[in-house]
Amino acid sequence: MNKRTIGGTELSVNAIGYGAMHLSIDRPRRPAEGASIDLIRLAVDELGVDFIDTADAYCADDSETGHNERSIAEALRGERRNRVVIATKGGSVRPEGRWERNGYPDHLRKACEASLRALETDRIDLYQLHAVDSRVPIEESVGALADMQREGKIRYIGVSNVSLDQLQSAMRETTISSVQNQFSLINRDADDDA
């Protein structure tokens, strides 16, 4: 596979990564835990996947926050972990299964620290603000991530589900290494903001 460097980082990954959300968000239809772990290992060992995208909110509801991250950690225990870049996100919450945003700095700090534990690591390769919380200036949200980066908990910072104006505001606060917005044949909204 062709390698790509993420933004201005030192992270070099294959052009196709693995988005693990579907392994956790829909409790009745998601794969059994063992099958999820086997699938991640297959992707890494046989298909060359070296980039996995997850989030603390990839779960059925707030009773199992971090479900997806814990599955990934279990699948990658041992030497596999050294072969994979993990990108996770914080700033979304799942009360009773709903999707809501929480971009307050204190929440993001707690979310990042919980992700470190769930992923069984001491530093997250790429930590992204999952979505902008309209109650909190994006500068405050990414400022909290920058603080944790200086503390060594986060290697690189990214943002997700942002407009161009929001991205520019975030970039005035800290270096943003990645932008993860929805863009597909079905969802072309990002075209309108380019």
pLDDT tens per residue across span 77-128: 999 999 999 999 999 999 999 999 999 999 999 999 999 999 999 999 999 9
| 129 inside domain | yes
| pLDDT mean over 52-71 | 97
pLDDT at 182: 76
| 6 inside domain | no
| 59 inside domain | yes
| 68 inside domain | yes
Categorize the per-residue pLDDT at 181 as very low, low, confident or very high, splitting at 50, 70 and 90. confident
Number of structural domains found in the chain: 1
Q: Are 66 and 28 in contact (CB under 8 A)?
A: no
**What's the CA gap between 129 and 181, in Å, rounded?**
11
| 136 inside domain | yes
28 CB neighbour count, 10 Å cutoff: 5
140 CB neighbour count, 10 Å cutoff: 14
| 1 inside domain | no
pLDDT at 194: 56
| 62 inside domain | yes
Instruction: With CA atoms as reference, report the closest residue to 112 among 141, 135, 134.
Output: 141
| 87 inside domain | yes
Domain span holding position 121: 13-193
**CATH code of the domain covering residue 82:** 3.20.20.100
Categorize the per-residue pLDDT at 192 as very low, low, confident or very high, splitting at 50, 70 and 90. low
pTM, entire model: 0.93
User: Does 58 qualify as catalytic in the annotation?
Assistant: yes
Distance of CA 82 to the CA centre of its chain: 18
Catalytic residue, candidates 18, 58, 127, 156: 58
